[in-house]
Amino acid sequence: RRVLFRSVTIQGYGFGAEQAESTVTFGGVVAGEVSEWTDTSITVLVPPGVSPGAAAVTVKGVAAATPFRVIGC
């Protein structure tokens, strides 16, 4: 069985210029590799096997979340 990782870009503002201690989670599972982190955009790999739930960005201990769903390939 192949495990596929999908890259997702989250757009917004106030993420900070660098990742530092900030995190992205999908359904409570920490995102895979971060390929880009700017104050207005974050690109990460979605961990395999996540269930629909909340995608959350936590910056300086403050989390913002939005619902997401998983679409099969």
pLDDT score at 34: 94
Q: Which range is most confident: 30-34, 51-55, 65-69? A: 30-34
What type of residue sits at position 5? F
Cβ atoms 52, 69 nearer than 8 A: yes
HSE of 7, CA atoms in CB hemisphere, 13 A: 8
Q: What is the pLDDT of residues 9-47, one digit of tens each?
A: 999 999 999 999 999 998 889 998 999 999 999 999 988
d(CA 47, CA 23): 13
d(CA 39, CA 49): 28
Residue 1 banded pLDDT, cuts 50, 70, 90: low
pLDDT score at 2: 54
When pLDDT is averaged across residues 43-69 and rounded to a whole number, the result is 87
